[in-house]
């Protein structure tokens, strides 16, 4: 799910991925979490971790392991074999707030007066500074710089007076603002939480006598689990040996929900379903709409791997112009957050992607990509097609122009860094060297999300909640 522009700093960073499992038969779950995280690797490649507990053993005894890098780099047979337990949570991270360090890797494990809490978080809070200050004045000592620790501390603090963990979670949710899907492990419970707006996905699965919580359905497929349903926006789901219970007190009316549309455009794997909508079909539909709204005469439609491919196929199906492959992607390039210096960025593009000259020579090519953020590599990719002999290069983008930053877990940077800020589509077209350029119309977004309410803040500047007065998201020049 990684796109060429990730290596060059001109592609949105993925979300994080969360996974949890409770096996009522008492089987060890670490290997299932490992494979679940492997399926969610596209959501974050900076760090990962697993925490497990034995519900039949000493209460609150949690074993965990985490580190920097990919899942198959951090874990091996030896350290995975030491994680013994029938309940556990896992996490893959891409940082949108907080430094990229081992201390900030998740899951977070807290020992407090009521026992132990392990938490994995996908999303981004917008009121972290105030919440953090409140905790600091109460004597809290922070071990990380991430907002996930603020969530964990507030749950732990509420738990002191709350009768149950899930009630403590509900009380904490009334304080935190922003985007979050949480998987929480207490000594005898697995809890799934989704923010009231539904920014980030979270689903429930079942395999034999085990229940699973995961960011995407593709993780359920990987471990042979059956999809049950999505966690509702604002819902708290509790899994115990007695089964599943649900608390929907914080659910908003549907018209106020605001899913991140980029899950459908780019973030999620195409074989996932989010809130009943298939991601692959969403991208096919985006391509069809581009063909309807921005037609052009051409000989070939191609996608920029990977997320541009489905939209390119949709464009081809709607327009009748043949779909083909113009780019060969090197699948062995290292982790995307290790980027070359500015002076060698062009070679970074060519290391990861090369053009099939025979496929494009002498042809009018329509090139589909999912987004243009800063525009620092679109011109190079267009140039590579021209160098390979393409007669014309027409670029189509399966999202509208980015005009505003995102504060909810997608690292759309400050407006001044966005190529579309203060520039017309014609000016951008000239900058990237294309013969024509068109974006997906904003009114098409809800259609590709199956009619579900979505957040369009990064395109329209209209956010579902008041954005923070200070930008607390961290440094996006990664």
Cis peptide before 261 (omega within 30 of 0): no
Phi, psi of 465 (to 5 degrees): -145, 160
8: which DSSP letter?
A: G
Token pair, residue 357, equals 């000259």
284, 410, 30, 173: CA torsion to nearest 10? -120
323: which DSSP letter?
A: B
Closest CA to 43 of 230, 263, 231: 263
Q: CA–CA separation, 88 vs 187, rounded Å?
A: 10
Most distant CA atoms of the chain, gap in Å:
72
Q: CA dist 352 to 5, 35, 329, Å?
A: 10, 26, 6
User: Which amino acids are annotated catalytic?
Assistant: 16
332: which DSSP letter?
A: T
Contact 86, 65 (CB under 8 A): no
Q: CA–CA separation, 478 vs 40, rounded Å?
A: 21
């Amino acid at each position: 799910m990684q796109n060429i522009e990730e290596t060059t700093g001109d592609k949105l960073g993925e979300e994080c991925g969360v996974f949890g499992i409770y096996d009522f038969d008492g089987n060890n779950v670490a290997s299932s979490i490992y494979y679940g995280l492997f399926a969610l690797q596209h959501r974050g490649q900076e760090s990962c971790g697993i925490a497990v507990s034995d519900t039949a053993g000493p209460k609150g005894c949690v074993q965990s392991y985490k580190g920097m890098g990919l899942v198959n780099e951090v874990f091996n047979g030896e350290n995975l074999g030491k994680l013994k337990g029938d309940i556990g949570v896992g996490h893959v991270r891409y940082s949108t707030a907080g430094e990229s360090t081992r201390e900030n890797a998740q899951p977070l494990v807290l020992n407090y007066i009521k026992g132990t809490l392990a938490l994995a978080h996908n999303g981004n809070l917008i009121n972290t500074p105030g919440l953090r200050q409140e905790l600091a004045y109460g004597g809290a000592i922070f071990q990380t710089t991430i907002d996930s620790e603020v969530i964990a501390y507030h749950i732990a603090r509420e738990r002191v007076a709350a009768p149950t963990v899930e009630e403590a979670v509900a009380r904490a949710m009334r304080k935190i603002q922003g985007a979050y899907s949480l998987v929480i492990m207490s000594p005898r419970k697995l809890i799934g939480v989704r923010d009231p707006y539904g920014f980030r996905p979270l689903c429930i699965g079942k395999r034999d006598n085990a229940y699973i919580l995961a960011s995407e359905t593709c993780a359920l497929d990987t471990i042979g689990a059956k999809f049950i349903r999505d966690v509702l926006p604002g819902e708290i789901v509790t899994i115990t040996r007695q089964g599943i219970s649900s608390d929907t007190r914080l659910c908003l009316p549907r018209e106020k929900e605001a899913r991140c549309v980029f899950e459908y455009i780019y973030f999620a794997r195409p074989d996932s379903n989010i809130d009943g909508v298939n991601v692959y079909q969403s991208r096919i539909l985006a391509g069809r709409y581009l063909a309807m709204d921005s037609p052009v005469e051409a000989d070939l439609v191609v996608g920029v791997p990977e997320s541009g491919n489905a939209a390119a196929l949709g464009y081809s199906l709607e327009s009748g112009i043949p779909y083909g492959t113009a780019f060969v992607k090197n699948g062995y390039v290292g982790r995307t957050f290790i980027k070359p210096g500015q002076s060698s960025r062009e070679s970074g593009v060519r290391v990861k992607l090369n053009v099939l000259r025979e496929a494009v020579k002498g042809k009018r090519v329509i090139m589909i990509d999912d987004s243009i953020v800063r525009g620092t590599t679109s011109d190079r990719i267009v140039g590579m097609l021209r160098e390979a002999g393409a007669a014309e290069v027409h670029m189509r983008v399966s999202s509208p122009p980015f005009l505003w930053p995102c504060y909810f877990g997608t690292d759309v940077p400050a407006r001044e860094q966005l190529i579309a800020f203060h520039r017309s589509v014609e000016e951008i077209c000239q900058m990237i060297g294309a013969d024509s350029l068109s974006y997906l119309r904003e009114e098409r977004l809800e259609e590709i999300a199956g009619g579900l309410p979505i957040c369009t803040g990064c395109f329209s500047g209209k956010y579902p909640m008041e954005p923070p007065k200070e930008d607390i998201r961290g440094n996006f020049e990664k």
